[in-house]
Amino acid sequence: MREQHTSSDYRFAPHERPMMPGSPATPDHPLRRRVGYFAAGILIGLTGGFVNGLLTANLPQIQGALGLTSEEAGWLTAAYSMTNVCMSLLLIKFRQQFGIQRFTRIFLFAFLILNVVQLFVHNYGTELIVRAASGVVASGLSTLGLFYFMQAMPAKWRLKGLVLGIGVSQVALPLARVISPALLISGDIQNLFLFELGLTLLSLAAVSLLRLPPSERIEAFEPIDFLTFAFFAPGIALLCAILVQGRIVWWSTPWIGYALAASIVLIGIALIIEHNRANPLLNTRWLASADVVRFAIVAASMRLLLSEQNFGASGLLAVVGMGQEQLVPFYAVVTGATVLGLIASMIFLNPMDLLRPVAFSCGLIAVAAFLDADSSNLTRPAQLYLTQAMIAFAAIYFMGPTMLSGVLHALAKGPSHIVSFAAIFGISQQLGGIGGASLLGTFQTVRERFHSEMLAQSILPTDPQVALRLQQLGGAYSRTLGDPALRQAEGTVLLSQQVSREAAILAFNDVFLLIGSIATIGLVYLLGRWTYFTIKGINPLANELAAMAAMRERAASA
């Protein structure tokens, strides 16, 4: 492949050369410029995170404003997930072939166009297209923010910049729930789109005033890449649709089975094509290695466990009657804990010991989930501050070491493996997130039906306590209903509603117990591996770190 520079009169010094084509060079910037890169990284990272965060936080409001059913609203989430996962395959090669500056301009201008379209067109079809395109844009913005943070860091802290770039976009998720009630105070979802437009304009201004250093380019794309993508992308898209819609339309719906079968076939064909290529887009042999499979399982499992917050706690608070405005202090605490987790992850990052922070995060989730499993109809956000802060801290504390471990595995094998890593990381995180919510949602529904039946069987009209309760509930209508039989009927309806609420709360407690149990199993496994490596004096990434050091030495001597 022929290598070229973005500028004919620019020459990289040996220590400035990027680690791989498509990434910006890393010259020694003055302090003032580093501060500028840092501020731009925060802005771009938050902008990319808000793309999904505002959708997740305000999906019920968007659904109501557009008059959508639950299934139609689910397709908005599925559309974002589909494109966000699939485009990670092509975006790396796009940067490698066309350069970082073109990458920056295209994706920020694309996001600007999407924001403008949202301001003037309000219908389901347009919103579906915009959300699908937003998944592509968010993937590009998250990478762009990461590059800006790495420019802001001196060479010895560049890995911390990687962690920061990953983490800032995650801060946007709880922060979106903090600011959304203020944006929707007038009840108009147009304010959400105006807010996104403002962030996009600020990001465009930032990258125009402070550009990234040039990158090296290569002829990255091969025609057969697009054949692989033509099979892989629809296969992953169908899998996303299944995970999002399965618990909404329920798993027995016929199209779910057909979609799953088609997904397996399409992904299988893509992997067969890649397995027999000399320069594969997806290195199937490396992806099937024990280290990479273990990495994917751990990353996906952690995302599943973190659904305790996004599905469990938020669902429980909704059942006990907490609205979006009442949860602002709760999500402010979660946002603060997320920031603390990001800071702690940067401070304690140690490439020689990346397993310990993941085990610690797993332990925090286990403790928090077991504490939440004692919830009742009297539970309010204040009772969940501590446990949800623990989970928010764990959510960000584990992500940096986990991704760094995968990056080291990939770079040690050569820059060509980065595309495969991006695919496996994106799939594990996105599918782990929506799959975790789907699994827990299904489990909660099944357990709610079980508890509802058990409670209904224990309520007998002949029981004096039940009769008294019906009388008390019916008494609420004594001023409006004179007929005792009608009051009795209304009392029965209210009692049925209370039973349903109690069944839902008990089901959420079961969800917390399930998460706590899975987290405990994960903790035992991770602690076992960490203890073994510590006693034996083994660094599981020793070969990868040695390979990276050798690559830096070759680059310095070139």
Torsion angle of the four alpha carbons 80, 86, 88, 91, in this order, in degrees rounded to the nearest 10: -100
Average pLDDT of the residues in 322-333? 86
Q: Yes or no: say if 367 and 390 are a contact pair by the CB < 8 Å rule.
A: yes
CA-CA distance, 183 to 57, in Å (whole number)?
Answer: 12
The more confident residue out of 310 and 40 is 40
Contacts of residue 144, defined as CB under 8 A and 6 or more positions apart, other chains included, come to: 44, 48, 103, 104, 107, 108, 207
Q: How confident is the model at residue 287 (pLDDT cuts 50, 70, 90)?
A: confident
Any bridge partners for residue 5, and if so which? 216
> Which residue is it, tokens 């997806």?
282
CA-CA distance, 15 to 155, in Å (whole number)?
Answer: 10
Q: How confident is the model at residue 4 (pLDDT cuts 50, 70, 90)?
A: very low
Q: Is the per-residue pLDDT at 473 higher than 80?
A: no
Q: Yes or no: say if 235 and 262 are a contact pair by the CB < 8 Å rule.
A: yes
Any bridge partners for residue 217, and if so which? 4
Strand, helix or coil for residue 240: helix
CA-CA distance, 424 to 267, in Å (whole number)?
Answer: 13
Q: How confident is the model at residue 332 (pLDDT cuts 50, 70, 90)?
A: very high
The more confident residue out of 462 and 518 is 518
> Which residue is it, tokens 């209508």?
477
CA-CA distance, 430 to 164, in Å (whole number)?
Answer: 19
Average pLDDT of the residues in 394-408? 80
User: The tokens of 375 are what?
Assistant: 């919830």
Average pLDDT of the residues in 282-300? 77
> What are the DSSP E strand ranges found in 444-499?
none
> Radius of gyration over alpha carbons of the chain, in Å?
26
Cα dihedral sign, 536-542-543-544: positive
CA-CA distance, 262 to 504, in Å (whole number)?
Answer: 35
Report how far apart, in Å, the C-alpha atoms of 1 and of each of 9, 12, 96, 221, 222 are: 21, 19, 11, 10, 11
Average pLDDT of the residues in 289-312? 77
List for the chain the helix, strand, coil content (%; round to 5).
80, 0, 20
CA-CA distance, 245 to 223, in Å (whole number)?
Answer: 34
pTM for this structure?
0.84
Residue range 17-71, pLDDT digits in tens? 666 666 777 777 788 888 888 998 898 888 888 888 888 888 888 888 888 888 8
Residue 99 CB coordination number (10 Å): 22
Q: Which of 76-80, 353-357, 481-485, 495-499 has the lowest mean pLDDT?
A: 481-485
CA-CA distance, 108 to 93, in Å (whole number)?
Answer: 18
Q: Is the per-residue pLDDT at 265 higher than 90?
A: yes
Share the mean pLDDT of the chain.
79
Q: Yes or no: say if 365 and 394 are a contact pair by the CB < 8 Å rule.
A: yes
Angle at 27 between CA 26 and CA 28, to 5 degrees: 125
- Here the contacts of 2-9 (C-beta below 8 Å, separation 24 or greater) are 2/218, 2/219, 3/216, 3/217, 3/218, 4/216, 4/217, 4/218, 5/214, 5/216, 5/217, 6/99, 6/100, 6/101, 6/214, 6/215, 6/216, 6/217, 7/214
Helices then strands, counting H and E runs in the chain, come out as 22, 2
